[in-house]
Amino acid sequence: MLKDGLTGPNALAAPYTFDVRGGGGWWGIEFEFEGTNLQPNQPFALQVQAKAMENGLVLMGLTGGANIEGTKGDHIMLSPAYNVTKNEIEEIARLTILSVEQSLRELQQ
């Protein structure tokens, strides 16, 4: 659900989502805006983090680290509790996708 919601054919975030990877309860999502029509004026991961907090989800936004110099790339990290339920995982994915899309829509205005 998470990967398809961010990279699928109808996903608003697809052009900007470089990678969705992880396993178990630890997932990372990397965004890249170089060569696209959107250029955030502040770190996108931190915009998503703030939007997620408004939506009731705590995630970690990180900047840099995607290149050798550690200066490019925005990431968000998801790390729910070990005893998370399937329904909670689905809600985390839904809120993550929502927060990313809301952040992208604000950039497009």
pLDDT of the chain, 109 residues: tens digit per residue: 899 999 999 999 999 999 999 988 889 999 988 888 888 888 899 999 999 999 999 999 988 776 666 667 789 999 998 899 999 999 999 999 999 999 999 998 8
Domain count, the chain: 1
The pTM score is 0.91
Q: What are phi and psi of 104, to 5 degrees?
A: -65, -40
Q: Which helix (H) or strand (E) holds 2?
A: helix 2-7
How far apart are alpha carbons 91 and 99 in whole angstroms? Answer: 12
Confidence at residue 67, expressed as pLDDT on a 0 to 100 scale: 63
Amino acid making up residue 41 = N
* C-alpha span between 86 and 104 (Å, rounded): 27
pLDDT of 70 reads 64
Q: What pLDDT was estimated at residue 71?
A: 67
Q: Write out the DSSP string of 8-68.
A: STT-TTTTTEEEEEEETTEEEEEE--TTSS---SS-HHHHHHHHHHHTT---EEEE--SST
CA dist 4 and 86 (Å) reads 17
Amino acid sitting at position 93 = A
CATH of the domain at 34: 3.90.1150.10
Q: Which domain holds residue 77?
A: 2-108
